[in-house]
Chains A and B, each alone.
Chain A
Amino acid sequence: MCLAIPGQIISLVDEAPHSALIDVMGVRRKVDVSLVEPDGIAPGDWVLIHVGFAMSKIQEQDAVEQLRMLQALGEATAAMEEVRGYSADEEGSSP
């Protein structure tokens, strides 16, 4: 829950407001981007994600460092489990 997971915005999702498709080490999930929208977001940008919500925009280098940090802390598996756990956003799909 306290993990800050870095991810890259692949695309903004038109049909769901404030939502973007985000890639975290090859796993893609829809993430809420309401809280970083005021900073201006575009595909290719990097964000830090907490519990399915992008909380801050970061530089690519910081994203790489954060991933390395999660690995060093032994939290990378938990982080990927969290990302995979974000339900795929189809109505009725259970997490």
Chain B
Amino acid sequence: MRYIDEFREPELIARTSEEIRRLVDPARHYRVMEVCGGHTHAIYRFGLKDLLPENIELVHGPGCPVCVLPMGRIDDGLSMAADPNVIFTAFGDMMRVPGTHGSPLEHQARGADVRIVYSPADALKLARANPGRHVMFFAIGFETTAPSTALTLMRARAEGIRNFSIFCNHVTIIPAIRAILDSPDMRIDAFIGPGHVSTVIGCRPYEWIARHEGKPIVVSGFEPLDVLQSVVMLLRQLRAGEAKVENQYRRVVPWEGNRAALKAMADVFTLRSYFEWRGMGFISQSALALNDTYADWDAEKRFAIPGLRVTDPKAAQCGEVLKGVLKPVQCKLFGNECTPELPVGALMVSSEGACAAYYQYEHRKSALVSLPA
């Protein structure tokens, strides 16, 4: 309870935490997966584990787009940066993710024209400003960012900007959840559903989890109280033997999602028949590619991309952590060979990655505790 004073509504937090204790069956062990990396970050930051009974285990899910991208795709993207006519653009989160021959930043240091953009619209702007060069945007993200890429492509097409392309690595959340449920080494009792992805897709796509898999799912906000309330809602369902989709984050997430965003995605993207995820292998229909209308803006069609499959460094256990089979600290490289300063795996790079979040809060906490008084 050491963090409780810094919460905004400490009394409500304490009451909710008490209610959780009343609802749990002490004879049972609960495994609750938070799908979204934003939740992972918040859970560590606020020490929410300390507010839950021992027998509720929070399992970190695959909802960090930087983390789930396999190294082969990073190498594929970087292969285009070798062309001196290409300006390679990506979000800042991507810049330190290791490829086989270094991260985008390291390629920049070796002379490649690698630039950070904060919006795909800014990559397009760069293309307008540099008509003699080709601007490639390395697009990543779940349904939260895919609509922005779609709108940017629609604009490029409307304006006839030809020196611009997208290397599309957008992934979709539902097939990833399905893959986790299908995995024989994973037993999950309930899900804390992603918040921002759901502003786009709404709550309806999760209904199959409840209906066919019999697992409760609550779409949740990111405040400590949001997460705790979501746990209460999940426990109530489990106790009543129910499995349904509930929306704790109603103040932001409409049940039907954002229709304009869904339409933009439908107009621009097509579902890939399969896509490789780091540590999870190939998952069918789990990622987006540009449809034929946008073929001229598709980096995979405009460039000879090697299509690499690269296995992670043997000692790194990113895949197991990503699936929730291992905790970050159980990886052999955690905290010694792999740190946020010198990451070996992508989970140590993004603040939404389980390893980086764990390192920043839990690891430091235990390091402090072990110091002599």
Chain A residues within 8 Å of B, Cβ to Cβ: 1-2, 4, 32, 34-38, 48, 50-53, 55-56, 58-59, 62, 65, 68-69, 72-75, 78, 81-83, 85-87, 89, 91-95
Stretch in B11-19, B119-127, B228-236 with 4+ CB within 8 Å of A: B119-127
* 8 A Cβ contacts from B120-141 to A: 120-122, 125-126, 128-129, 140-141
Find chain A residues with CB under 8 A from B264 CB.
34-35
A61 to chain B, nearest CB (A): 9
Find chain A residues with CB under 8 A from B122 CB.
52, 85-87, 95
Which of A38, A91, A95 neighbours the largest number of chain B CB atoms within 10 Å of its CB?
A95
A57 to chain B, nearest CB (A): 9
Contact check: which of A56, A69, A82 meets B118 at CB < 8 Å? A82
User: Considering the chains assembled together, what is the distance between the CA atoms of A67 and B261 in angstroms?
Assistant: 24
Decide if A73 touches B93 in the complex (CB within 8 Å). Answer: no
A72-B118 contact given A50-B196, A55-B144, A58-B252, CB 8 Å threshold: no
A2-B199 contact given A34-B260, A53-B147, A62-B252, CB 8 Å threshold: no
Decide if B352 touches A2 in the complex (CB within 8 Å). Answer: yes
Find chain B residues with CB under 8 A from A37 CB.
260
A27 to chain B, nearest CB (A): 12
Decide if B91 touches A1 in the complex (CB within 8 Å). Answer: yes
Find chain A residues with CB under 8 A from B41 CB.
73
Find chain A residues with CB under 8 A from B360 CB.
74
Decide if A1 touches B121 in the complex (CB within 8 Å). Answer: no
B interface residues, how many (CB within 8 angstroms): 51
Chain B residues within 8 Å of A, Cβ to Cβ: 6, 8, 37-38, 41-42, 45-46, 64-66, 91-93, 115-122, 125-126, 128-129, 140-141, 144-145, 147-148, 151, 196, 199-200, 222-223, 251-254, 258-261, 264, 350-352, 360
B97 to chain A, nearest CB (A): 12
Decide if A32 touches B118 in the complex (CB within 8 Å). Answer: no
User: Considering the chains assembled together, what is the distance between the CA atoms of A52 and B360 in angstroms?
Assistant: 28
Decide if A92 touches B121 in the complex (CB within 8 Å). Answer: no
User: Considering the chains assembled together, what is the distance between the CA atoms of A82 and B304 in angstroms?
Assistant: 32
Decide if B260 touches A50 in the complex (CB within 8 Å). Answer: no
